[in-house]
Amino acid sequence: MRKKQSIFQLLSQKPWEPEQAKLDDLHDGETLNLSKGKLGLRFIMFVSTIFFCLFIVTYSDRMIYADWQQMPEPFMLWFNTLTLFISSSVFIYIQLSAKKNDFDKVKYGLIIIGFLALIFILGQLFVWNQLINLGYYVSTNPANAYFYVFTTLHGIHLLGGLFYWNITLRKVWYPKNVEINKSKHTIELCAIYWHFLLAVWVVLFGLMIFS
């Protein structure tokens, strides 16, 4: 039995008081109304957010120095951003299909996600190639260095997402009746992570464009 409590109410409990003990005895041992998977995902996103925030802090510190020279913004980056937006939209479609138990559509949707991820990664590599050919090397200027660092770290996060996408795809591809709810849960987690990847990229891309 759990009542919604603020952190302050929770920390004010007196576990030795008889009235409190009556409530405590009925507590089921869970603090939040969240599945362990969802909480785990939030945990990962939380740590990643701090990680990127710290990079952004160092970026804003470093860019005030005189040697900072803004990089060009290849058009391809907009295309890549659009790819991530489409991925997120497809995931919304997948989630809706999963709710209706239409797992054929879920399968196709997940395959499209895989393709879009591949296009995004190739697109980012294409941008790298373009910039290198133009002479924007990683050590030429701190702005260049940040661009390569941000795209690499975001790419690594996407690869992590693809690892989980693979698990999700396998669950959907080889369905077992008892695991349908688990599959839906996995799809939901995968979708949340993809939206997160989009959000991170939008922030990083925005930072690089507008700074």
Partner 1 sequence: MAADSYEDIAVDKGDVIPALEVPPQELYHAKSFWTKWIFCQDAKVIGIQYSITAIAIGLVALVLSWLMRLQLGFPELFPFLGAAEYYQFVTMHGMIMVIYLLTALFLGGFGNYLIPLMVGARDMVFPYVNMVSFWVYFLAVLVLVASFFVPGGPTGAGWTLYPPQAITSGTPGGDGLGIILMLISLSIFVVGFTMGGLNYVITILQARTRGMTLMRMPLTVWGIFTATVLALFAFPALIVSCIMMTLDNLLGTSFFMPAIVEFGEQTEYSGGSPILFQHLFWFFGHPEVYIVALPAFGIVSDLISVHARKNIFGYRMMVWAIVIIGGLSFVVWAHHMYVAGMNPWFGYFFATTTLIIAVPTAIKVYNWVITLWRGNIKLTIPMLFALGFIVTFVNGGITGLFLGNVIVDVPLSDTYFVVAHFHMVMGIAPVLVVFGAIYHWFPLITGRLLHEGMGRFHFWVTFLGSYAIYFPMHYLGFVGVPRRYFEMYDSEFMAVSTNYLNQFITVVALIVGFTQILFLYNIITSSKFGKKADKNPWKACSLEWRTPEVPPTHGNFGKELPVVHRWAYDYSVPGATDDFIPQDIPASQVPNAEVEKT
Point out which residues bind partner 1 (CB under 8 A). Answer: 10-19, 21-22, 24-32, 34, 36, 39-40, 43-44, 46-47, 50-51, 54-55, 58, 61-62, 65-68, 138-139, 142, 145, 149
Identify which of residues 7 and 101 has a Cβ nearer to partner 1 in the complex.
7
* CA-wise closest residue to 43 among 181, 202, 188, 189: 189
CA angle 98, 83, 151 (to 5 degrees): 115
Sign of the Cα pseudo-torsion (119, 196, 95, 78, in order): negative
Residue 184 CB, nearest approach to partner 1 (Å): 19
Identify which of residues 90 and 154 has a Cβ nearer to partner 1 in the complex.
154
Contact 94, 106 (CB under 8 A): yes
Can you read off the two tokens belonging to residue 103? Answer: 């797992």
Contact 171, 182 (CB under 8 A): yes
Residue 19 CB, nearest approach to partner 1 (Å): 8
Identify which of residues 86 and 149 has a Cβ nearer to partner 1 in the complex.
149
Residue 150 CB, nearest approach to partner 1 (Å): 11
DSSP secondary structure, 67-124, as one string = T--PPP--HHHHHHHHHHHHHHHHHHHHHHHHHTT-HHHHHHHHHHHHHHHHHHHHHH
Identify which of residues 37 and 175 has a Cβ nearer to partner 1 in the complex.
37
Residue 61 CB, nearest approach to partner 1 (Å): 5
Residue 27 CB, nearest approach to partner 1 (Å): 5
